Amino acid sequence: MRHILTSVVLVVLLFPSLALGETVKFEDLVERGEVYYKKFTDIPFSGTVTGNPQGKLKNGIKDGPWVSYHDNGQLWSKGTYKDGKKKGPWVDYYKDGTVDYGWTGTFKDGVKVK
């Protein structure tokens, strides 16, 4: 049991990307269809995406909370994806930080429901 625990700790310390998931900048991804890949690969990316926008990908598909920002640094939008489709509440903002009610709402399977 002690050897197994030691091995797991060693793997986590030597290869943190295996334990924590990989992190990549959004600009280092390419989109094919609705699936994202790291540049120069044919394997859908899974892990954390930094930059603009920011979120997580699971097998190349947006999954979980995502945010994006205007060029001036103001929050542009925030919400959650499930299997690549918008789900639940989403809020979009103008460059001055006020809410853009035209795009804000609640989504189910990527479709605005209210």
Domain assignments of the chain as residue spans, ordered by start: 22-112
Is 90 exceeded by the pLDDT of residue 7? no
pLDDT tens track for 29-39: 999 999 999 99
Type of residue found at 73 = G
* 24 exposure class (CB count in 10 Å sphere: 0-12, 13-18, 19+): middle
Percent share of the chain, pLDDT over 70: 82
Q: Report cis status (omega within 30 of 0) of the bond before 44.
A: no
Is 90 exceeded by the pLDDT of residue 5? no
Contacts of 75 (CB under 8 A, 6+ apart): 67, 68, 69, 93, 97
Pick the CATH number of 22-112 from 3.30.420, 2.60.40, 3.40.50, 2.20.110: 2.20.110
pLDDT of residue 68: 98
Has this prediction a pTM greater than 0.75?
yes
Q: Which of 110, 104, 112, 36 is nearest to 76 (CA)?
A: 104
Alpha-helix residue ranges (DSSP H) falling in the chain:
2-14, 16-20
